[in-house]
Amino acid sequence: MNKEMLERFFRYVKIDTQSKEDVTDRYPSTAKQLDLSKMLVAELRELDLKDAAMDEFGLVMATLPSNLTPAETAKVPVIGLIAHVDTSPEVSGADVKPIIHKNYKGGDINLPGDPNVIIRQSENPNFSGQIGNDIITSDGTTLLGADNKAGVAEIMSLLANLQKNPEIKHGTLRIAFTPDEEVGGGTEHFDVKKYAADFAYTVDGETLGEIEIETFNASAGTFTIHGINVHPGYAKGKMVNAIPIAAEIVRLMHQEPNPATTEKREGYLHPYVIEGGVEKATIRVLLRDFDIDGIRTKAARLNEIRNQVAAQFPRARIELDVKESYKNIHVKLAEYPKVIEYALEATQRAGIQPGTQIIRGGTDGAKLCFMGLLTPNIFTGGHNFHSKQEWISVQDMEKTVAMLVNLVQVWVEKSL
């Protein structure tokens, strides 16, 4: 398995699948992502997932049929496994040259392609558990792409493993490989109905053993300030300039917790775009909080700010619009706790110390949850995503595959 899994991973990281921000006229954002998607369809078919296909949006879906009796199959839930094919727009993913640093003995890892790129032990506490392992990095000129090609390779290795070992019992598995996750579009065209899984796991996390069970509640707010523009030479008593009004709104928001002053479970308000002129200005704001009450309080605070500034500038018109982006997946997970319990048990059975994590962000899983598909995020073993210092060990990838093999079995065992 070791050799085959590595070959897969290397084959995938060598394909440039970088996605691109702010592309609105095509989906996925870059055509090159489909090079990997097409390869995966062919490989899925070779592994006997006969219905493997890529849809018009570049989304790959496939089914591994259950190897249980029909009566048993009806009792075992259909499990979805999801990974994304694209890599981050932040760092080049072209011409990736993966390197294996065999039998890691501790210390910093120097990368041959760029003397300035050093993976320092002091910045990587997880190196302590890697002594004797084989660590994979890029050559330092690109990212590695373990995010999320490690997840893709691990899911594919699970399937290869199940094909070779028919005595391992499993229910129906639904696979999905999505494009454009890194630019926030991974679930845009995800057809939850067609996917037809009872729940799913994204295999897109980091440190071995960590299962992500909470995300922020997220909303997006927009202030629109309508001023009145007249020639500035003849503006006395007439002009209403939207710019100072926008500044006052920003000043008041900045008295609230923001991303630079918060950590752990603390939420924030984050004005991140401001544009406009005298006649009209807009401010876009992100609202984030782990608690549902917290996110409501933040929306209410924005409304107070709006009212306060509107009273200060009665001739301007100030609109505020707040829309929900996604909710903390914890709310949905609480309805079906087995999805986490069994994942933790499978982790333990694979000889990995399990743990749960909160993430100060959203995942594709958070969006899928509220499209009706419960989807927590499980680890891949990767580290330092979106950077030239990205790394993963062969042994952690193997353990992740072992966890997935255990996961399908735990579900069979507990459901029959």
210 is catalytic: no
Nearer to Zn ion, 148 or 172 (CB): 148
> Which one of 25-33, 85-93, 144-152, 277-285 is the stretch in contact with Zn ion (CB under 5 A)?
144-152
Nearer to Zn ion, 61 or 83 (CB): 83
For the four alpha carbons of 19, 24, 25 and 27, in that order, the dihedral sign comes to positive
Nearer to Zn ion, 37 or 241 (CB): 37
Catalytic residue among 181, 182, 345, 390: 181
> Which one of 100-108, 204-212, 225-233, 401-409 is the stretch in contact with Zn ion (CB under 5 A)?
204-212
Q: Counting contacts by CB under 5 A, is residue 206 touching Zn ion?
A: no
> Which one of 120-128, 142-150, 228-236, 295-303 is the stretch in contact with Zn ion (CB under 5 A)?
142-150
- Please tell me the distance from the alpha carbon of residue 304 to that of residue 298, in angstroms, as a whole number: 10
Residue 240: Cβ within 10 Å count: 20
- Please tell me the distance from the alpha carbon of residue 315 to that of residue 295, in angstroms, as a whole number: 30
Query: To which residue do tokens 């990838």 refer?
Result: 397
Nearer to Zn ion, 142 or 172 (CB): 142
Q: Counting contacts by CB under 5 A, is residue 398 touching Zn ion?
A: no
- Beta strand extents in 268-376 (DSSP E only): 268-276, 280-289, 317-326, 355-358
Q: Counting contacts by CB under 5 A, is residue 147 touching Zn ion?
A: yes
Q: Kindly tell me which residue out of 63, 142, 148, 395 binds Zn ion, with binding defined by CB under 5 A.
A: 148
- Beta strand extents in 310-394 (DSSP E only): 317-326, 355-358, 377-378, 391-393
Q: Counting contacts by CB under 5 A, is residue 212 touching Zn ion?
A: no
Q: What are phi and psi of 91, to 5 degrees?
A: -135, 140
Q: Counting contacts by CB under 5 A, is residue 400 touching Zn ion?
A: no
Secondary structure of the chain: what % helix, strand, coil (to 5)? 35, 20, 40
Q: What are the beta bridge partners of residue 225?
A: 281, 318
Nearer to Zn ion, 246 or 378 (CB): 378
Under rule CB under 5 A, how many of the chain's residues touch Zn ion? 3
Least CB distance to Zn ion at residue 206 (A): 9
> Which one of 9-17, 197-205, 211-219, 220-228 is the stretch in contact with Zn ion (CB under 5 A)?
197-205
Distance of CA 47 to the CA centre of its chain: 27
* DSSP per residue, 138-194: --SSS---HHHHHHHHHHHHHHHHHHH-TTS----EEEEEES-GGGT-TTTT--HHH
181 is catalytic: yes
Q: Counting contacts by CB under 5 A, is residue 204 touching Zn ion?
A: yes
Catalytic residue among 86, 214, 364, 390: 86
Least CB distance to Zn ion at residue 148 (A): 4
In the structure encoding, which two tokens stand for residue 391, read together?
A: 């790394």
Q: What is the binding site for Zn ion (CB under 5 A)?
A: 147-148, 204
